[in-house]
Structure 1
């Protein structure tokens, strides 16, 4: 059974789905950072490593875009007191987007493995703080959102990770 479903088949609340997506993104970022630390890991000799990096960047971009245009919009309408928090989180999304652009530019240079790793380290620190703050401030409000507001992809930008070991598709198109 998928962890996002309760025994009666009812979907888990949206806030809990947000946590699942964040866990998946944390795991993918950790896998990517570990891959760059492997002996012989090189963007030149490993197109899969480059594809994984670009796939992660694309998934994180979709997630934040989904939140900005979906969940944050819905929460701003339903919970006006959250608007300052949502504005802060949207600003974080812009900072993350800048880091992701730098990572994407760096991956074009096959000798930039160390620079990519340094950017990923900074991204990991920022995302940990961002995800924790977002979860603390929004999970309860998201759990109160009913299904008529939209599905996980519409509101959070990406589908829930599949049961088992969700991984990035090396082509950067999503999970495999």
Structure 2
């Protein structure tokens, strides 16, 4: 996708970020900063965006990850974002969203415990080293389990 076309799409979708940013931060100035950081990250990673992908969902995911990471950097260990709500918010069609959420929940629930726990922590925004510290499992094992969980989910959801 051409940069000018991507930037136009980005500009057109950016207005949808404001309500979610405000919901995350609960402060108008912090929400503006979060939106600006999100758009900057999107521009810097524009080469990773694939045509046909839900741009609003992609931007929302970037914003959520930035918020979670910044929240943890301040010394908090739990984040006020509900993962189920996050999944539902980034899909435009709520009927489709409900089907996807149910499919994801079902697939997640069928993961063996050894894969489920590190993968769900990873989804919640924990870094590999944080998961290692909490579960008392070597770093290589954590990375392997998250990788295997992704492969299992990809097979069951597709």
Structures share a fold, TM > 0.5?
no
The normalised TM-score by structure 1 is: 0.31
